Amino acid sequence: MAGQMKLTVPDLGDFADVEVIEVLVSPGDTVEVEDGLVTLETDKAAMDVPASQAGTIVSVDVNVGDTVNAGDVVATIEASSDAPAAEAPVESPEGDSDEFVVTTVMSPEEIAEVTGSKPEAAPVEAETDHQAQLVVLGAGPGGYTAAFRAADLGMDVILVERWPMLGGVCLNVGCIPSKALLHAAKVIDEAAEMSKHGVTFGVPKVDAAKLRDWKQSVVDRLVGGLSTLAKQRKVKVVHGTAKFGSPKHLVLDSGETIGFEQCIIAAGSEAMMLPGLPDDPRIVDSTGALELDPLPQKMLVVGGGIIGLEMACVYAALGTEVSVVELTDSLMPGTDPDLIRPFMKVVKHRYASIMTSTKVTGMRATTPGIEVTFEGKNAPSVGVYDRVLVAIGRRANGDKIDADKAGVNVDERGIIAVDKQMRTNVPHIYAIGDLAGGPMLAHKATHEAKVAAEVASGEKSYFDARTIPSVAYTDPEVAWVGLTETEAKADGIEYEKAQFPWAASGRSLAIGRDEGMTKLLFDPKTHRVLGGAMVGTNAGDLIAEVGLAVEMGADATDISLTVHAHPTLSETVAFAAEAYDGTLTDLYIPKRKKR
Ligand SMILES: Cc1cc2nc3c(=O)[nH]c(=O)nc-3n(C[C@H](O)[C@H](O)[C@H](O)COP(=O)(O)OP(=O)(O)OC[C@H]3O[C@@H](n4cnc5c(N)ncnc54)[C@H](O)[C@@H]3O)c2cc1C
């Protein structure tokens, strides 16, 4: 294609008279498809108008300060004869979209038409109702990320989801709604805390229905945004429960079939329940607990892992009398004991009881409540609760999708083994997220998703992150990344440790919380950071610096010489590094002994 063409503003959804805040090109500039021409700004977002055609700019037809609408000419271009043009901008979806940067891609067939090269024919066994180069099974954080990344790389993608909403567990019934409720809990707890320091608020009145509506509005906003992003990328979303029919197609519960050249399995996990429980609405999993319906007076949380403890934190703040029962001898099993001690100091006053080394032996539904029997040294033999949350872990969904029909191996835990490129034992089928083994965390799923999508599109990507951070968003928060002391001791890994107690942090004292602690583990030879952990307010945000240090191979001096703003909790990371380097002045620590 050659000759002069007008480049116009794409559909802007609900926006009109949008201001040009920057002109990015000048006459004579050569641009590629998708290069920004001008930047527009609304009260909600700034975005570039991309070139839909490669070539040389002949004239720029707008100035900074002008206002433009969809269809207005931005620039005129002399199209280069060999350059492919992008499709016409996709239609902006309905609704309130913050993100309407238009991504235009060509299908392999269209590229072939322009370039004369032939795409490889899709090896399909039989006619299917839908067909795509890449089918992604499951639209959680793993699935939607994989679908969007693959579409951005030029693949035609179908995303299959059994629920009416995209976003999976994380957005709908996991990370996001739980964090919205934890925010409410934090406000209540902090307000109560201040009464010790001379600022007293009244007893909070909790309108559970309104709180639930707000939580849902947060979820809806994010989930709605995903549909918009899928439309913008031309990812076709097909709703239905899918199973494999063969290594080349899925079958939906409706009977429809979807053929693919490659497939990414991202079907996630589900909450596990104790066997033999009565069928009673007062016994819930984490999804039920997020409903706050109604707020119980007395609640038992079965399972002292992260999900159970986060929900315990929410309900206790909202006024419920909470008890926690845990089979092992510690809350957050497997977490370094020195992180759990400060955590326990705070939560033991908040909960009616914390029963570790205790087993739930039975539950009976009675009119006054769920009668629970226990076996353990710290437990009563029986307790009665208005609500029981069972949070004993999650099980991968690998064995619910007839993976055997595709020849994909699934283990007895529902996990599908993958290599560093996220390939299963069947090379054109990938698995990511909760069902691919490793920690069941959204950020792990999204990183794996990008690798799988990139490999499927022909890039040489690998999942070779050194570490994946873990965070309990409880109060106080507990976070760790890289090597932990528990692992180091179990595996005989040599390490040296430095720690900084938050009682010596000005910021920690100024927010009325001094129970925290930051520790760093170092390689004794290179002094590089092997891992780190912290307990305290905002530990989940602060751990990012330690993660970066591990990934970058930073040593103690790299951190201690990095100027951290004062007074911040982030200084505790620097102080721990200074303690290791022997340069800490904020605290007197006797010289460390050689291990
Ligand atoms: C209460 C709670 C709080 C959490 N908090 C955090 C947190 O703070 N941080 C964090 O990192 N992680 C958190 N998690 C974990 C996080 O939600 C998961 O690790 C993450 O959602 C996994 O993403 P995924 O894409 O692998 O699977 P999922 O999110 O489980 O998505 C899988 C999708 O596949 C669909 N699906 C399954 N089978 C089929 C089928 N046969 N056909 C069609 N569709 C199918 C499902 O409907 C679902 O939408 C939390 C989880 C819970 C329960």
pLDDT tens per residue across span 132-143: 999 999 999 999
C-alpha 434 to ligand 1 mean position (Å): 7
Closest CA to 437 of 420, 454, 451, 450: 420
CB atoms within 10 A of CB 327: 16
Nearest CA to ligand 1 atom 45: 138
User: What pLDDT does 38 receive?
Assistant: 86
Same domain, 135 and 212: yes
Cβ 401 under 6 angstroms from ligand 1: yes
pLDDT tens per residue across span 6-63: 998 887 766 788 888 888 899 999 988 777 898 887 665 667 788 888 889 999 999 9
User: What pLDDT does 88 receive?
Assistant: 38
H or E, element range at 237: strand 236-239
- Angle in degrees, 0-180, between the axes of helices 175-193 and 306-317, rounded to the nearest 10: 50
C-alpha 50 to ligand 1 mean position (Å): 34
As a whole number of angstroms, the distance between CA 111 and CA 114 comes to: 5
Cβ 160 under 6 angstroms from ligand 1: yes
C-alpha 169 to ligand 1 mean position (Å): 3
Q: Based on the structure, what is the number of domains in the chain?
A: 4
Cβ 372 under 6 angstroms from ligand 1: no
Same domain, 412 and 366: no
**Local structure of residue 53 (DSSP, 8 states):** B
As a whole number of angstroms, the distance between CA 191 and CA 179 comes to: 18
C-alpha 162 to ligand 1 mean position (Å): 13
User: What pLDDT does 14 receive?
Assistant: 64
Cβ 141 under 6 angstroms from ligand 1: yes
Same domain, 152 and 256: yes
Would you call 265 helix, strand, or coil by DSSP? Answer: strand
Cβ 136 under 6 angstroms from ligand 1: no
- Minimum-distance ligand 1 atom for the alpha carbon of 179: 8
User: What pLDDT does 44 receive?
Assistant: 55
As a whole number of angstroms, the distance between CA 124 and CA 549 comes to: 47
For residues 446-470, b (16+ Cβ closer than 10 Å) or e, as one string? Answer: bbbbbbbbbbbbeeebebeeebebb
Same domain, 135 and 249: yes
Q: What is the DSSP string of 372-389?
A: EEEEETTS-SEEEESEEE
Closest CA to 264 of 446, 105, 422, 400: 422
Query: Which residue numbers in the chain have pLDDT < 70?
Result: 1-2, 13-14, 42-46, 81-126, 591-595
**Domain span holding position 98:** 3-115
- Minimum-distance ligand 1 atom for the alpha carbon of 142: 25
Torsion angle of the four alpha carbons 358, 359, 364, 370, in this order, in degrees rounded to the nearest 10: 40
User: What CATH number is associated with residue 543?
Assistant: 3.30.390.30
Cβ 422 under 6 angstroms from ligand 1: no
Q: Is residue 587 part of a domain?
A: no
Q: Is residue 68 part of a domain?
A: yes
As a whole number of angstroms, the distance between CA 296 and CA 543 comes to: 34
Active site residues: 566
Q: What are the residues facing 130 on neighbouring strands?
A: 258
Q: Is residue 438 part of a domain?
A: yes
As a whole number of angstroms, the distance between CA 595 and CA 590 comes to: 15
**In this structure, what token pair is assigned to residue 469?**
């951070």
User: What CATH number is associated with residue 379?
Assistant: 3.50.50.60
CB hemisphere CA count around 404 (13 angstroms): 5
Nearest CA to ligand 1 atom 9: 175
C-alpha 140 to ligand 1 mean position (Å): 5
Q: Is residue 589 part of a domain?
A: no
Q: Is residue 332 part of a domain?
A: yes
Q: What share of the chain is helix, strand, coil (3-state, %, to 5)?
A: 30, 25, 45
C-alpha 268 to ligand 1 mean position (Å): 5
Q: Is residue 450 part of a domain?
A: yes
User: What pLDDT does 85 receive?
Assistant: 52
Cβ 397 under 6 angstroms from ligand 1: yes
For residues 216-255, b (16+ Cβ closer than 10 Å) or e, as one string? Answer: bebbeebbbbbbbbbbbbebbbbbebbbbbeebbbbbeee
C-alpha 579 to ligand 1 mean position (Å): 40
Q: Is residue 463 part of a domain?
A: no
**In this structure, what token pair is assigned to residue 212?**
């639930």
43 Cβ contact list (under 8 Å, min separation 6):
none
Closest CA to 388 of 405, 357, 365: 365
Cβ 390 under 6 angstroms from ligand 1: no
C-alpha 440 to ligand 1 mean position (Å): 8
Cβ 532 under 6 angstroms from ligand 1: no
| Residue where a domain stops, chosen among 75, 90, 115 | 115
- Minimum-distance ligand 1 atom for the alpha carbon of 271: 53
What does R_g of the chain's alpha carbons equal in angstroms?
Answer: 27
| Residue where a domain stops, chosen among 392, 421, 442 | 392
User: What pLDDT does 377 receive?
Assistant: 83
C-alpha 480 to ligand 1 mean position (Å): 21
Cβ 175 under 6 angstroms from ligand 1: yes
* Peptide bond between residue 247 and the one before it cis (omega within 30 degrees of 0): no
Same domain, 424 and 552: no
Nearest CA to ligand 1 atom 21: 170
Same domain, 96 and 232: no
User: What pLDDT does 51 receive?
Assistant: 84
- Minimum-distance ligand 1 atom for the alpha carbon of 168: 49
Nearest CA to ligand 1 atom 37: 267
Would you call 327 helix, strand, or coil by DSSP? Answer: coil
pTM for the structure as a whole: 0.81
Mutating to test ligand 1, I would choose from 137, 144, 170, 446 the residue with most ligand atoms within 8 A of its C-beta, which is: 170
Cβ 336 under 6 angstroms from ligand 1: no
Cβ 307 under 6 angstroms from ligand 1: yes
Q: Do the beta carbons of residue 115 and residue 131 sit within 8 Å?
A: no
As a whole number of angstroms, the distance between CA 312 and CA 26 comes to: 59
C-alpha 330 to ligand 1 mean position (Å): 26
Same domain, 484 and 448: no
Would you call 306 helix, strand, or coil by DSSP? Answer: helix
C-alpha 389 to ligand 1 mean position (Å): 19
Cβ 445 under 6 angstroms from ligand 1: yes
- Minimum-distance ligand 1 atom for the alpha carbon of 144: 25
Same domain, 204 and 289: no
User: What CATH number is associated with residue 110?
Assistant: 2.40.50.100
Mutating to test ligand 1, I would choose from 175, 223, 260, 307 the residue with most ligand atoms within 8 A of its C-beta, which is: 175
Same domain, 147 and 251: yes
CB atoms within 10 A of CB 432: 33
Mutating to test ligand 1, I would choose from 144, 165, 169, 473 the residue with most ligand atoms within 8 A of its C-beta, which is: 169
Cβ 335 under 6 angstroms from ligand 1: no
As a whole number of angstroms, the distance between CA 426 and CA 131 comes to: 19
Q: Do the beta carbons of residue 514 and residue 507 sit within 8 Å?
A: no
Cβ 138 under 6 angstroms from ligand 1: yes
Nearest CA to ligand 1 atom 27: 268
Nearest CA to ligand 1 atom 2: 174
User: What pLDDT does 108 receive?
Assistant: 37
Same domain, 359 and 497: no
Which one-letter amino acid corresponds to residue 258?
I
| Residue where a domain stops, chosen among 392, 413, 428 | 392
User: What pLDDT does 16 receive?
Assistant: 82
Same domain, 15 and 83: yes
**In this structure, what token pair is assigned to residue 234?**
């031309």
Same domain, 90 and 41: yes
Cβ 474 under 6 angstroms from ligand 1: no
Would you call 408 helix, strand, or coil by DSSP? Answer: coil
Q: Is residue 303 part of a domain?
A: yes
Q: What are the residues facing 385 on neighbouring strands?
A: 370
Cβ 241 under 6 angstroms from ligand 1: yes
